[in-house]
């Protein structure tokens, strides 16, 4: 496939942005962003395929390792992984981000993205194995560090998912599953933190959200895995229990205490009219930690 560098092209609608009125410039940014959800929608079959394979890996004892580099992709994957435990109570070892040169922090060291050898180095630091799934994020699809990640994943036989904006890129060529979101030239040339990052944020949100739902961290659309480690979080947990079971606040409070602050166990216990948190935990374990199948 011929590579098409959409990310690096100049946008014909933004040639005059430096002399535009602010209102017109804002309108242009907004108009350009409007197309992104439709472009992402066209990639849904591949997004679904990647999500299913990542979920299978996690359920089989593996992990989803998301790799990005530089100020856009690196920050995207780091922020995505960091949100899962505080938002849903998800085990933080199941979805891991590598933002090169940062140890996963948001303080991205830019020059690391241009060194392919750091792919293998960083993956070895997290004990990456063939049971894991690699998700490499790069707007251009040609970031050397992410190509290095893919090369190492290929060497050990791990599944490789690419998320990029350019058609026919090196990452798309190397990937087992390629999610391509060709958002076109940016308003500011090669500034992929705009449409490219919007598209990739949408895709990453969908993938990780589907994973937490299918792993049982929600009941209906209620976050039952939410940690209740502070007074305000406990209040939210009580509200979630009441919404899920239609019980009183007193009953919710009593069951949350019996379940040592575990909202999911409390909901399961009430819905199934169980008498102890031990029974509830055993029932959840048998049902792969999901309140309902």
pLDDT of residue 106: 44
**Sign of the alpha-carbon torsion through 112, 115, 204, 6:** positive
CATH number at 12-214: 3.40.50.10490
Joined together, the tokens standing for residue 224 give 């039952």
- Whether the per-residue pLDDT at 279 is higher than 90: the answer is yes
Rounded to an integer, the average pLDDT of 74-91 is: 93
- Whether the per-residue pLDDT at 110 is higher than 80: the answer is no
* Residue range 33-67, pLDDT digits in tens: 999 999 999 999 999 999 999 999 999 999 999 99
Domain spans, the chain: 12-214, 219-286
In whole angstroms, give the CA distance from residue 265 to residue 107: 37
In whole angstroms, give the CA distance from residue 282 to residue 183: 47
- Whether the per-residue pLDDT at 98 is higher than 70: the answer is yes
Q: What's phi and psi for 180, nearest 5 deg?
A: -110, 125
- CATH fold label, 219-286: Helicase, Ruva Protein; domain 3 (1.10.8)
Secondary structure of residue 247 in the 3-state scheme: coil
Q: How far is Cα of residue 61 from the mean position of the Cα atoms in its chain?
A: 18
pLDDT of residue 188: 86
């Amino acid at each position: 496939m011929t590579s098409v560098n959409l990310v690096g092209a100049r946008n014909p609608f933004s040639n005059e942005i430096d002399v535009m009125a602010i209102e017109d410039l804002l309108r242009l940014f907004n108009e350009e962003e409007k197309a992104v959800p439709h472009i992402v929608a066209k990639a849904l079959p591949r997004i679904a395929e990647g999500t299913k394979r990542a979920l299978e890996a996690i359920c089989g004892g593996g992990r989803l390792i998301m790799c990005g580099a530089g100020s856009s992709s690196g920050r995207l994957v780091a922020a995505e992984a960091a949100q899962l435990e505080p938002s849903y109570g998800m085990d933080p070892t199941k979805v891991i981000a590598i933002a090169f040169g940062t140890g996963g922090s948001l303080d991205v060291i830019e020059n690391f993205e241009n060194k392919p050898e750091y792919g293998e180095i960083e993956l070895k630091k997290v004990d990456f194995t063939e049971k894991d799934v690699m998700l490499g994020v790069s707007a251009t699809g040609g970031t050397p560090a992410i190509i290095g990640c893919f090369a190492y994943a290929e060497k050990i036989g791990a599944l490789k998912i690419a998320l990029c904006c350019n058609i026919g890129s090196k990452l798309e060529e190397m990937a087992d599953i390629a999610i391509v979101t060709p958002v076109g030239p940016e308003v500011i040339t090669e500034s992929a933190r705009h449409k490219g990052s919007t598209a990739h944020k949408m895709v990453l949100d969908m993938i990780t959200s589907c994973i937490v739902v299918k792993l049982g961290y929600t009941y209906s659309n209620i976050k039952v895995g939410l940690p209740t480690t502070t007074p305000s979080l406990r209040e939210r947990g009580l509200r979630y229990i009441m919404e899920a079971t239609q019980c009183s606040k007193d009953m919710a409070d009593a069951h949350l205490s019996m379940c040592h602050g575990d909202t999911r166990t409390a909901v399961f216990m009430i819905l199934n009219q169980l008498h102890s948190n031990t029974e509830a935990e055993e029932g959840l374990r048998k049902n792969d930690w999901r309140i309902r199948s």
